[in-house]
Structure 1
Amino acid sequence: MLGQITNIKQHKIIFVTFSTIIACLFLVLIISGIIGIVNKIEFGDEGAYRDTISIQGQGKIYAKPDIAYVNLSVITQGYSLKGTQDSNSKKMNGVIEFLKGFEIEEKDIKTINYNIYPQYAYEDRKAPRIVGYEINQTIELKIRNLDKVSEILEKSVAAGINQINSLRFWIDKDEELKAEARKIAIEDAKKKAQVLASDLGVELGDLIGYNDDNSYYPTPIYRAEMGGIGGGGETPDIQTGENEIIINVSLIYEID
């Protein structure tokens, strides 16, 4: 009996000793973690924070456009839907054949709108009734020869077009111009960074960040007026003007 009591006491002592060791180790880990956090707060991680400046630059390029886009519409009204559709299609097909005479390819003619509008008559105390139809078909035309723009606008009316809008001028392949504007923007940002660093009394370090965005501004011509187009009027005087390509960049430098 005495031997059993002695064994139980020994087991208790061993268990208490093992538990104490585990608790001490756990306490050491907690204290080490707290010390590490305090050190990070007090001294900071190396490289976690860097002094930097950010500067913006802009590059602009002006160039004459080399293509034009314009929307041409045929609007037809009639009493029957089929008759109105047939009439509208005949007019538009004639317009497309006319445009091909200016060496405009099919890939540069795109239908962008086709609408049928029932026309209603309204009488007192009666439900509205359909008395006819209006069909509006619009094509977007890409004109690669700008010397032909005025003539196309004038003669397309005689060919069947009765609405012209959204005339705008564009640069077909502008990647080289964008690259040139980007170089100007980067040089502008570099010069500004040197001036700012001098004003702040610091030295520029490594370039660690770059970003750019590009903006493209077509010539602000949005509508060709119908006056003077067709019906024996004078050929409209269309000015292409210049397009403006703008590139904005942002550079980030470390500073010492």
Structure 2
Amino acid sequence: MRCTPHRSIAGRLSTVVAATLVALPLAATSVSAQDRAPHEPVVRVSGTGEASVAPDMAIINLTVARNGETAQKALADNNAAMNQVLTALKKAGIADKDLQTSNFSIYPQYQQNEPKDGRVDPPRIIGYEVQNGLTVKIRDLKALGNIIDQSVTLGVNQGGQITFTNDDPSAARSEARKKAVADAMDKALTLTEAAGVKVGKVIDISEGEDRFMPPSPAPRMAMMKAQSDGVAVAAGENTYSIAVTMTFAIEDK
């Protein structure tokens, strides 16, 4: 009577093992059939599009540098000059949000000593230089030349780098995207026609590189100069470039 439970458990285990052995070939057959399923033929192409637009804003970097025998003297002179520049910029219509200190530094100035009796004393500090940088966004490009000229007159003695940009380039980027998609579709049509098939539905589309190209000298570049004798500047055009990758299904003709 005690052996009966053992035979019952063994019987159940045999049934489970047998069922497993029967199920394994079926699962293997299913996976193998899936692997052999043909892939949908596709054509994958890339396209690029560009859109150019005149800039409506300039960003300039201005630096006031002053020297003094002491750090306090150099700092005081620098603050006085920078305050004059800031006052003039605000009077010219530059908003507070478009003025930002971009760099502030104090450097000791050293004097190298001449060798004496075969010995060279370490350099000594003879003064200090204070540099105060300012990044300015100018939204009225017609005033740019005068603003630069006035800033230099009031004490700006370094910097002057100008970057022309757009406050909202979304419209130009949208146009560039449309051109990139059109370019990719044109390539897909050319490839499929050459292969004797036709383009099907869009399977996948992704955006790649988004580039901003600042203006460079070109025949279209327009010279802008303030009505006074301000600095002459050239705005040119900003170019926005978009790249896309598209995958299309291929259908028989």
TM range (shorter): 0.7 to 0.9
Identity among equivalent pairs (%) = 28
Q: Any residues of structure 2 matched to 1:149-160 within 5 Å, and which?
A: 149-160=144-155
Distance 1:62 1:27 in 2: 68
Q: Verify the 8 A CA contact 1:108 1:143 in the aligned structure 2.
A: yes
For the structure 1 residues 62 and 39, does the alpha-carbon distance in structure 2 shift closer, same or farther, using more than 3 Å as the test?
closer
Secondary structure of 1:98's aligned partner: helix
Structure 1 residue 112, shift from structure 2 partner: 0.3
2:194 to 192, 199, 204: 199
Partner of 2:212: 216
2:126 is equivalent to residue 136 of structure 1? no
Letter in 1 for 2:52: Y
For the structure 1 residues 28 and 76, does the alpha-carbon distance in structure 2 shift closer, same or farther, using more than 3 Å as the test?
same
For the structure 1 residues 10 and 135, does the alpha-carbon distance in structure 2 shift closer, same or farther, using more than 3 Å as the test?
closer
Structure 1 residue 14, shift from structure 2 partner: 4.9
Distance 1:71 1:10 in 2: 95
Secondary structure of 1:53's aligned partner: strand
2:81 is equivalent to residue 87 of structure 1? no
Distance 1:78 1:176 in 2: 50
Letter in 2 for 1:62: S
How well do the aligned residues superpose, as a CA RMSD in angstroms? Answer: 2.2
CA deviations 1:127-174 (Å, max 9, x no partner) are: 333221011111011111111111222221111111133211112221
Give the count of matched residue pairs.
Answer: 234
* 5+ long unaligned stretches in structure 1: 1-6, 222-233
Q: Verify the 8 A CA contact 1:170 1:219 in the aligned structure 2.
A: no
Partner of 2:14: 20
Partner of 2:29: 35
For the structure 1 residues 135 and 202, does the alpha-carbon distance in structure 2 shift closer, same or farther, using more than 3 Å as the test?
same
Partner of 2:100: 110
Q: Verify the 8 A CA contact 1:59 1:181 in the aligned structure 2.
A: yes
Letter in 2 for 1:95: V
Structure 1 residue 220, shift from structure 2 partner: 4.4
Distance 1:159 1:56 in 2: 52
* 5+ long unaligned stretches in structure 2: 218-228
2:51 is equivalent to residue 61 of structure 1? yes
Partner of 1:165: 160
For the structure 1 residues 11 and 143, does the alpha-carbon distance in structure 2 shift closer, same or farther, using more than 3 Å as the test?
closer
Q: Which is greater in Rg?
A: 1
Letter in 2 for 1:166: Q
2:138 is equivalent to residue 148 of structure 1? no
Distance 2:6 2:87 in 1: 106
Secondary structure of 2:233's aligned partner: coil
**TM-score normalised by structure 2 residue count:** 0.83
Distance 1:245 1:15 in 2: 75
Distance 2:106 2:139 in 1: 31
Distance 1:188 1:246 in 2: 13
Structure 1 residue 40, shift from structure 2 partner: 2.9
Letter in 1 for 2:210: N
Secondary structure of 2:76's aligned partner: helix
Secondary structure of 2:16's aligned partner: helix
**TM-score normalised by structure 1 residue count:** 0.82
